[in-house]
Amino acid sequence: MKNIIDSLAQKGGLLEGMSSDLLSILFIFVIAAILLGFISLFAGVTSIVERKIAGRMQSRIGPNKVWFRGFFQFLADGVKSFEKEDIVPDLADKPLFLIAPYIVFAGMFGTLVVLPFGSTLISADLNIGIVYLFAIASFNVIGILMAGWASNNKWSLIGGIRAVAQIVSYEIPTSLAALSVILLVGSLSMQSIIQSQGAMPWQWNLTNNPFTCVAFFILFITLLAEGNRVPFDIPEAESELVSGYNTEYSGLRFLLFFFAEWANIYVMSAIITTLFLGGWQSPWNMSIILFEHSIEITGVILFFAKSLVITFVIIWVRWTLPRLRVDQLMIACWKYFIPISLFNLLGILVWMVVFPKGSMTVSLVISLLLAMVFVYFLYKVIYVNLIRMKAEIGL
Amino acid sequence: MNNLQHHGYQFDFEDELGSKMVMNVGPSHPSTHGTLRLVIELDGETILSTEPEIGFLHTGFEKLGEHHSYNQFITVTDRMNYISPLNNNIGFAIAVEDLLGIEIPKRAQIIRVIMAELSRIADHILCVGLQGMDLGAFSVFLWTFVEREKLYDIFEAVTGARLTTSYTRVGGLAFDVPDDFKERVDKVLKTIETCIAEIETMLTGNRIFIDRCQGIAVLSKQDAINYGVTGPMLRASGVSYDIRKIRPYSSYEDFEFLVPTETAGDSFARYLVRMEEMRQSVRIIKQALNNLPDGEINYFDKKKILPDKDLVYNNMEALIHHFKVVMPGDLHGIHPPVGEVYSSTEVPNGELGFHIVSDGKSSPYRLRVRPPSLINYQCFNEVSRGHLIADIPAILSTFNVIAGELDR
């Protein structure tokens, strides 16, 4: 990034002659704007895609009126939210109430600093990347609790309390699952974690050894819990708590909560892709030149594609499973996920002693097993659908 | 809280730590299907007591019954349990027929059985879907809605209305079924069977669903009997009580079906009972469709039963009889003998009873309804105590409380 700034200072017509410091501050704002644009677009598109997928899964159509088959519904919804009155309840704690959505949003947006998009595309490859990520991601707990408390509504309060209990508890197994990868790689930097993996599935951390495979599933489930997604969406369980911590919000502030939620899906997917699915590693090498710097475009596309697959699975899980009860959620965390991930960590350590250089055979076997499970699953889905279709037609 | 005490709620508050809280679920809340209100006393998230309050949908149906003629009241029965109106129509018609002491033709009886069972499936499938939705499985709910729409299409084809069916008349039915009735029902039964299988795969084996339902809202056998609970709730508690078997009406004795029972008495048992009852209903409908006899659909008695509409337009005697039956006043209408009758039928929620006191005039002297929802709802406080606030919707949906039936 430093060299981009330098090259801009040297020959970028308008920016020529500006001091390097000023230019880097400007550069930070530009990057932030790009990230904001990207994540806004992603959150918006995810919202509409989620509604479309949900429609398909539930034998209905979904939004289909606004412009291209309803694809721009998210813009309409966003504009509508801007127009709405920003209602603050009389008895609310006004400053807290007003600031809470921004804190939730900031917690989400801060994570984007260390998320890689490609081999060279990353805002800042911090050497404590993953630690920073989990630290800043848990920032939104504060926002949710503030929203729940400041609303002065009993439903909101219960939602806020549930959110804190849930997110704080699930930090532990999430971190432990991530720690297993960190141990294997020996680095906290996001780019180093990706660089340690290969392009092929049997070179990923997911299939490195049985313990990372378990860690992958633990991380996936606990990230769902951290992002308040079904089956762990108890802070805003709409059939119990009306709408949980955001019950009293309207207009833009309400939008910010949902924006953060959908943007969080991308953050979750990117974390999983980075840690376990080989990130931007690609078997082909195709680059484009941007500002005299080559960007490996296949890696960017592959990273995004993997993230989208995870995003789809998250959406799919949401529209399939019922939600857990609050005590069951805590039991799942403290009685199952934490012991399993601790044991898993131990397993990784033993594995690293026994196979210091990893075992290709084991990786191949795990890849094969996962592929078989996937194929069996596809067969089941198609088979069940055929039965359904036969009944519909009346065969 | 002062406001609540002002309205007559007495809570025992010895709460030095300030951990208790009174919450108001409803009358407008996502988990109350209909306008119900629950005042809940909480300790943290644990329910200490609940006080259901009814009356938000008070309609005065029973009082209306004293001013409507017998046939007119059938339209009112649609509005009582608006999830399965056909069962109410049939229940009331059977009560009046018992009062008159007539037995309707076999064809009408079998058609009533088919319609009652279709309606039972529509009610149960919605109830199961709602149970899923209240636990967060929204897709299941919409799948069940698709099947319910198909059933409603049949109701529309047969009765002319999807919701306010008003299908029965005293002594028979309003219309005969359409010609392609059997094909239509056969087709829908097939998709319903697959839908039931799909719900099974989505919920019955689902660990989260089982965890959320098992051991929740346990109603013991003795308690269920003491509270007078009927229907799937009673059968889930282990009592094999079904009016269709115990006091068969409308030739239910001709059909082979089982009365599913469970012993656990919890939410999951109620879910299983409802699922099995749907399968048994499918079984009954299949038998009935194969043995649907030809013949009249109305009892023949010109003084009591409405004549065919064709005859009314083209035949003077029929027109006079029509007027005599429908005109208000003490000298006209159906004149049942002086006396009283209690007749009950098995509707999806349990035992729906009609107690009619007749003074020999065209409308009842007193009409009393025994709604299953109201009596099942009584034990809500008992079974929900000690559970968490998240269980409230899960319990409420297994009770299948219909607000229109609570406040007649």
How many Cα atoms within 13 Å fall on the side-chain side of residue B405?
29
| Alpha-carbon gap: A155 to the closest alpha carbon of chain B (Å) | 9
pLDDT band at A393 (very low <50, low <70, confident <90, very high): low
Based on C-alpha coordinates, what's the Rg of chain B?
A: 22
Q: Which residues are bridge partners to B355 per DSSP?
A: B342, B368
Chain A residue closest to B32 (CA)? A239
Which tokens hold the place of A146? 């503030």
Interchain CB contact of B134 with A (< 8 Å):
yes
Chain B residue closest to A243 (CA)? B30
Residue A29 vs residues A24, A25, A332, B77, B130: alpha-carbon distances, Å = 9, 7, 42, 68, 49
Q: Where are the alpha helices (DSSP H) in chain A?
A: 2-11, 20-57, 73-83, 94-111, 129-137, 139-150, 154-185, 190-195, 210-226, 251-276, 297-318, 326-331, 338-354, 360-393
Question: Residue B282, class by beta-carbon neighbours within 10 Å (0-12 exposed, 13-18 middle, 19+ buried)?
Answer: buried
Nearest CB to A240; choose among B31, B206, B211: B31
Which residue of A315, A321, A381 is the best one to mutate when testing the B interface, meaning the one whose CB has the most B CBs within 10 A?
Answer: A321
Domain limits for position A395: 359-395
Distance CA A103, CA B12 (A): 40
Distance CA A262, CA A43 (A): 5
How many Cα atoms within 13 Å fall on the side-chain side of residue B278?
28
Residue identified by tokens 């005293």 is B170
Are residue A178 and residue A269 in the same domain, yes or no? Answer: yes
pLDDT, one tens digit per residue, over B348-367 is 988 988 999 988 888 888 88
The mean pLDDT of chain B is 85
pLDDT surpasses 80 at A121: no
pLDDT band at B2 (very low <50, low <70, confident <90, very high): very low
Are residue A136 and residue A32 in the same domain, yes or no? Answer: no
Residue A61 vs residues A51, A236, A260, B58: alpha-carbon distances, Å = 9, 25, 26, 37
Nearest CB to B23; choose among A154, A322, A327: A154
Instruction: Please judge whether A242 and B30 are an interchain contact, meaning their C-beta atoms are less than 8 angstroms apart.
Output: yes
Non-local CB neighbours of A312 within 8 Å, separated by 6+ positions? A53
Are residue A127 and residue A187 in the same domain, yes or no? Answer: yes
Which tokens hold the place of B321? 């009889």
The pLDDT > 70 percentage for chain B reads 96
Residue identified by tokens 């829908």 is B188
Are residue A99 and residue A138 in the same domain, yes or no? Answer: yes
The superfamily (CATH) of domain B61-299+331-406 is Cytochrome-c3 Hydrogenase, chain B (1.10.645.10)
Are residue A210 and residue A283 in the same domain, yes or no? Answer: yes
Angle in degrees, 0-180, between the axes of helices A251-276 and A139-150, rounded to the nearest 10: 160
pLDDT surpasses 50 at B382: yes
pLDDT surpasses 70 at A115: yes
Q: State the span(s) of chain B assigned CATH 1.10.645.10.
A: 61-299+331-406
Q: In angstroms, how far is CA B185 from the centroid of its own chain?
A: 21
Are residue A89 and residue A164 in the same domain, yes or no? Answer: yes
Chain B residue closest to A61 (CA)? B142
Q: Which of A2-6, A97-101, A176-180, A360-364 has the lowest mean pLDDT?
A: A2-6
Nearest CB to B212; choose among A238, A322, A394: A322
Q: What is the DSSP letter of A334?
A: I
Instruction: Please judge whether B133 and A239 are an interchain contact, meaning their C-beta atoms are less than 8 angstroms apart.
Output: yes
Element (H, E) at B274: helix B267-290
Residue identified by tokens 């991308």 is A266
pLDDT, one tens digit per residue, over B315-333 is 898 898 888 888 877 778 8
Q: Where are the alpha helices (DSSP H) in B160-206?
A: 181-199
Instruction: Please judge whether A392 and B198 are an interchain contact, meaning their C-beta atoms are less than 8 angstroms apart.
Output: no
Chain B residue closest to A162 (CA)? B45
Q: Which of A264-278, A293-307, B110-124, B238-252 has the lowest mean pLDDT?
A: A293-307
Distance CA A387, CA A229 (A): 31
Instruction: Please judge whether A237 and B390 are an interchain contact, meaning their C-beta atoms are less than 8 angstroms apart.
Output: yes
Q: Find chain A residues with C-beta within 8 A of B30's C-beta.
A: 238-239, 242
Are residue A206 and residue A292 in the same domain, yes or no? Answer: yes
Q: Find chain B residues with C-beta within 8 A of A241's C-beta.
A: 389
Are residue A143 and residue A24 in the same domain, yes or no? Answer: no
More confident residue, B26 or A138: A138
Looking at the structure of chain A, the number of domains it has is 3
pLDDT value for A389: 66
Interface of B with A in 342-401 (CB under 8 A): 388-393
Distance CA B114, CA B283 (A): 10
pLDDT, one tens digit per residue, over A62-80 is 888 888 888 888 888 888 8
Non-local CB neighbours of A291 within 8 Å, separated by 6+ positions? A4, A7, A8
Which tokens hold the place of A331? 């039991």
Q: Phi, psi (5° rounding) for residue B42?
A: -120, 145
Beta strand pairing call for B350-358 and B366-370:
antiparallel
The dihedral built from the CA positions of residue A119, A124, A129 and A133, taken in this order, carries a sign that is: negative
The answer as to whether A74 is a domain residue is: no
Chain A residue closest to B197 (CA)? A388
Chain B residue closest to A242 (CA)? B30
Q: Find chain B residues with C-beta within 8 A of A394's C-beta.
A: 187, 190
| Alpha-carbon gap: A221 to the closest alpha carbon of chain B (Å) | 14
The answer as to whether A116 is a domain residue is: yes
pLDDT surpasses 60 at B281: yes
ipTM of the modeled complex: 0.81
The answer as to whether A106 is a domain residue is: yes
Residue A372 vs residues A208, A367, A378, A384: alpha-carbon distances, Å = 17, 9, 10, 18
How many Cα atoms within 13 Å fall on the side-chain side of residue A354?
9
Which tokens hold the place of B219? 């109603």
Q: Across the A/B interface, how many CB contacts are shorter than 8 Å? A: 86
The answer as to whether A78 is a domain residue is: no
Residue A266 vs residues A104, A230, A270: alpha-carbon distances, Å = 15, 16, 6
Which residue of B23, B32, B38, B134 is the best one to mutate when testing the A interface, meaning the one whose CB has the most A CBs within 10 A?
Answer: B134
Are residue A316 and residue A389 in the same domain, yes or no? Answer: no
Which tokens hold the place of B319? 């027109």
Instruction: Please judge whether A240 and B393 are an interchain contact, meaning their C-beta atoms are less than 8 angstroms apart.
Output: yes
A 10 A CB-CB count for A32 gives 14
The answer as to whether A79 is a domain residue is: no
